[in-house]
Each structure stands twice: as C-alpha cells, then as structure tokens.
Structure 1
Amino acid sequence: MKLLFSLFLLWALSTTAGALQCQTCTNSACSSTALLTCSSSEPMCVTATILATSSGTPVTQIYKACASSSLCPAVTSQTFSVDLGFQSALASAQCCNTDNCNSATLPNPASQSNNGGVCKFCDPSTGQCSSTLQCQGVENQCFQSTIKSGTSTFPGYGCASATWCVAASSLGSDTFHWFRVESSWCCITVWHGTPGKEDDLASGVENYTKERKAAASTTTN
C-alpha cells in the first residue's frame, strides 16, 4: 500500500511540476489576481487591455489568464479588434510562456483610423443587415455571427482583425468574452471598392453563407 501511495505521489508531482502558472483576474475589474495552474491545452499566459465601446460609451477592461495556442500562437504582442457597428472592442495583448509572466497590466491600445475597408453590419433593433461599416486599423476581415443577449439572439455582421477571427473560430466563442457569440466565422477579406457598389459585398457574404451551409450539410450527411 505504501508503495502504491508513493508511486501515485510521484506521478502527481511529475504531472504538475511542469505545468505553467499564470495570473488570472479574480473579479470583473481585475483589481486582484491569483496564480492559476494552467491545463495542458493552455500552454501560454496572456495579459490584455481592452477598450470596449457600446453605444458610444468606452470602457477599459483588463484580462489576465491562461491561454490556448489559438489565442496565443507565439510569444509576441498582438492586437485584436472587432466592430459590430453598435458595439466594438480593441485589445492590446501580450502572450508569454513562463510562470507568472502576465502580471503586468498593459496601457490602453492606440486608437485606430479608417483603413479603407468596408463590411456590412446589422441593426440589432430590426435585424436588418443592409448598412455598411468603415473598418479600422487591423480589421481586415468581414464576418458573420449570431449574438446572444439574455434569451434573445440576433445576427451580428462587422469588421474584425485576422487575430480575432482565428481565435474566435478555434475557441467557438468571442475571444475575450466581450459579448456572447453563439457562432461566428470570418467570411471574406474587407471590401475595397467604388462607393455605391456595396451590394457586391452583400453578394459575397450571401454566397459564402450558402457555401458554409452546404459544407455543414455534407459533413452531417
């Protein structure tokens, strides 16, 4: 019995000794943190400062946690950005892979300017997705999503950075929990074209949606 207990103890120590430990926020304001042992699927730590804007009102949020390789593919700084028209978020993030390496709080991300890209966005009150949105800074993708608010769901179109697209696609949810995303995908690169030709973008989104549904049906069958 003592031998079995000793073997179990050695196994437990060996499986946790090499596990990464990261700071994680213990409240919504991240005014206090705790050291958390990460799972094997989270080989990185991340610290991020997020400027989230809803109905024109900006709020700064701090995010510290263990991170998957889809959110943090390498030890590097990253910028994440997404804009739904009525709600947007911009984040500066630092990924690292040593114990307690995400203790620092980053400054607010620098503001972005129009990059010439255009995507469709939806009016949440009507569900209509016919208006166009000027993309900002690193937002080089158009996307479609289903947003959940309470018990209601509504479509969300907008502009997003490639970093946000990759992470959201892999995680199956919004990257930093800015809002509840039931499903999302980045469909095409942002549309650069002649004003008045925005329907070309709508056609591109519609065709991509049909392709996604067809692919899903084929996989199911």
Structure 2
Amino acid sequence: MKLILSLTLIWALSSTAGALLCQTCTNPDCSTTVTSTCLTETMCATASIQNTSVGVTVSQIVKACAPSSVCPATGSRTFSFNTGVVRVIASFQCCNTDNCNTDNLPAPGPQPNSLKCFTCNPFTSECNSKLDCQGVEDRCVKFNVTNGATNSSVFGCASANLCTLNAKQSFLPSLQSVGNITSGPFCCGTSLCNAVTTIASDAGCMSLLLGILIFTLRFFEV
C-alpha cells in the first residue's frame, strides 16, 4: 500500500511539474495578475477585447491558459462578430512557454472591407438590412435563438475562425445575453449570402457551438 501511495504521489508531482504556467487576471481590467498552472491547456494567451453595443464601447484585457481550439499554434488570431447593433472583436496573442503572456495587446482597430451581409432590425425583426463588414469579418452568418418564450433571428458578419471554432470550452463565454441556438448557425463567404431563404453554408459552421459569437465581459472562468 505504501508503495502504491508513493508511486501515486510521484506521478502527481511529475504531472504538475510539467504543466504550463500562464499569467491570469485577478480583476476586470487585468491590472493585477498571478501565475496559474494550466490543466490541459497547452498555450498561454493575452486577449484585447472590444464590445460595442448601441454605440458604447467597452474594452477589456484578458490573460489566461488557452485551449488548442482558440490557440492552435503560437502567434496572433483575431475573432470578430457584428450584427450592426452589437459588435465584438477580440485579438489574441498565443505562446507556449511559462508566463509568456505578460504583455498587453493594443486594442484592435478594424477597417471596412468589401463584404456585405444581411442583418436584422431589432425593432421589426426583419432581416433584410445590409451591413458593411469590417476587418477580418469575411463570412456572413445567421442563426435562430430562444430566450425564454421569445424566438428571434441573428444575422450579421463574422470572422471565418468563429465558424470552425469548437466553443465548448470554459475559455470562451456563454451566449446567455442572447439565448440558446435552436437552428444553425450557417456561415457563407459571399456578399448577402445569408438571406432568409439561403441554406448553403460552410461545412465547418455547424461546429460553431453555444458561446462563441458574442463575447461578454465574463470572459474567463479560471
């Protein structure tokens, strides 16, 4: 029995010793950080997030251990989603050495691109308004959600990496502010391809699960 306990202790210590160490935020503006031991994550990440709703922009810096779905390799990634009323853009810097995510990223600053997508009027629920996409938003997206007894549609622009990201990770927030996805989401890559009657989509878009389209400020659960 003592031998089994000793071997178990040695295994636990060796497993912990080989884990990646990353900086994580202890307050909303990330002005204070601590070193945390990652569980299964293989990357450290720093994120700069801008959440704009009805003309008001809130910025946030986030640091944490990152899963491979968000950081498949070292380097930079940008996620973006835009409905015209709400726009969220997040820039990530991924690295794979202990405490490599100490630096802050500058706030992302997208520019309009040539893609146009349909979006929904929040007052009439009609989804035939045209929206100019920005920056890395190279896909049109649409899906339906329920929030209590209310059913609604969400149309807009998104970056292609949101259409292939498996979001069932605590690294990303939930869609609680919008609701539960009941159909879709569908992504496509040409202007105005997300019309109400359009059903064609990128193959990877069906893996876009609950929680990746609207980044709330409850960004990490570490």
TM-score by length of 2: 0.77
- Cα distance in 2 for partners of 1:14, 1:174 equals 25
Say if 1:173 and 1:16 are closer, same or farther in 2 by CA, change over 3 A. Answer: closer
Q: Quick one: which amino acid aligns to residue 123 of structure 1?
A: N
Tell me the equivalent position of 1:86: 85
Show CA shifts across 1:59-82 (max 9, x none).
111111111111111101122211
Residues 1:202 and 2:217 aligned together? no
User: Which stretch has the larger CA shift, 24-33 or 98-107?
Assistant: 24-33
Identity of aligned residues (%): 45
Contact 1:89/1:178 (CA < 8 Å) preserved in 2?
A: no
Tell me the equivalent position of 1:218: none
Which secondary structure state, in structure 2, belongs to the residue aligned with residue 139 of structure 1? coil
Q: Quick check: which has more Rg, 1 or 2? A: 1
- 87, 95, 111: which one aligns with 1:113: 111
Larger helix percent: 1
Show CA shifts across 1:166-202 (max 9, x none).
22xx1148985385463463420031xxxxxx5x651
Say if 1:154 and 1:114 are closer, same or farther in 2 by CA, change over 3 A. Answer: same
Gaps of 5+ in 2: 207-222
- Root-mean-square deviation (CA, aligned residues, Å) is 2.9
Contact 2:49/2:88 (CA < 8 Å) preserved in 1?
A: yes
Gaps of 5+ in 1: 192-197, 214-221
Show CA shifts across 1:112-132 (max 9, x none).
222111111122343321211
Q: How do 1:1-221 and structure 2 match up within 5 A?
A: 1-40=1-40, 42-109=41-108, 111-146=109-144, 154-167=152-165, 170-172=166-168, 176-177=172-173, 180=176, 182-183=180-181, 185-191=185-191, 198=192, 201-202=194-195, 205-208=198-201
Which secondary structure state, in structure 2, belongs to the residue aligned with residue 6 of structure 1? helix
- Cα distance in 2 for partners of 1:189, 1:173 equals 26
Say if 1:105 and 1:179 are closer, same or farther in 2 by CA, change over 3 A. Answer: farther
